[in-house]
Amino acid sequence: MNLQQRNNIHVLGSGSTTVVFAHGFGCDQNMWRFLTPVFADRYKVVLFDLVGSGRSDLSAYDTEKYSSLQGYADDLVEIIRETADSPIIFVGHSVSTMIGVLADIAAPELFALHIMVGPSPCYINDGDYIGGFTRADIESLLNALESNYLGWSSTMAPAIMGAPGKPELGEELTNSFCSTDPDIAAQFARVTFLSDNRADLPEVKTPALILQCSDDIIAPLSVGSYLHEALPNSVLRIVDNVGHCPHLSEPEACIREIRNFILDFDSALHARS
């Protein structure tokens, strides 16, 4: 199948370095609209929708392939090879940060830098690890989603977005959630919230920026600290933001932190290009 059609790929800009943006659960590539114009001025920017999301080709959705994050990671590797001529800067939000981790492990030569926005390698508390939820919390969340997806979306999307001063963003995320096929959303949610990628983190040697929000019901500050310790070459920055989508609610802060991180690794980036 044609990759452009499968993942609704769009390419902006024409720089020698490529930046690939990957959205989170219930979202699509439009969620990056406040960041992409800034980076398209200097870089080649690649936007896409995960299969089952946005305007991807729903006929490409395979329940077996996408029963784990690895299926999405395999797609990402294909997209990078199709659109980039040198190692990329990968910007992932939420679950896509771990999709990027798995893709990096499979093909590390394709990655120059990781930008992780609201990442979490595991959402469930486990001993000393605080992921933010108990197993019972997650099962309750998934059961509610599977029994009444539209009702769940109307309740959860505004809470996930946060941004109390910008209610229109909560409404936008609700509409995005509600436009997703309920069966696909249910499987993707189960794959997302039950995933555990903690053991994969030490394998990633690519420099990573962890952008954690100061108040996030999905990925608490403890998760950012854990990631910073587990990733061998990482920087942790806290964005003053209520919610899980700072690229929408605090885009200027995200742009500043990403730009500074890229500049810090500029020489290394060119050395690998």
By annotation, the residues acting in catalysis are 94, 216, 244
3-state secondary structure of 131: coil
Whether 152 and 186 have beta carbons less than 8 Å apart is answered as: no
Distance CA 251, CA 183 (A): 31
Distance CA 256, CA 249 (A): 14
Instruction: Look at the chain and count its residues.
Output: 273
List beta partners, residue 46.
11, 20
> Which residue from 245, 229, 93 is spatially nearest to 156, judged by alpha carbons?
245
List beta partners, residue 115.
91, 209
3-state secondary structure of 197: coil
CA angle 43, 3, 185 (to 5 degrees): 100
